[in-house]
Amino acid sequence: MNSIKYIYWQDQNDWLGYLQEYPDYWTQGESLEDLQAHLRDLYLDLTSGEIPGVRKLAELTLR
């Protein structure tokens, strides 16, 4: 089973979050489980090529 890290928090009654690899693309849910479902859908959209110009997080090694 594959996995991806995500950041999430609760703001009053809403659950907000984004995929760590794609910090510019936030989503929300009515519960943590709902948020996770939205994050799965978002991941599929971001990696399928449906969304043009997707920005990603990367790490640069300095010499």
Q: What confidence tens digit (pLDDT) does each residue in 6-63 have?
A: 999 999 999 999 999 999 999 999 999 999 999 999 999 999 988 899 999 999 999 9
Give the whole-angstrom CA distance, residue 20 versus residue 17: 9
User: pTM for the full model?
Assistant: 0.88
Report pLDDT for 30: 97
Domain around 6: 1-63
Report pLDDT for 37: 98
SS3 string of the chain?
Answer: CCCCCEEEEEECCEEEEEECCCCCCEEEECCHHHHHHHHHHHHHHHHHCCCCCCCCCCCCCCC
How many structural domains is the chain composed of? 1
Give the whole-angstrom CA distance, residue 13 versus residue 2: 29
Report pLDDT for 53: 93
Domain CATH for 53: 3.30.160
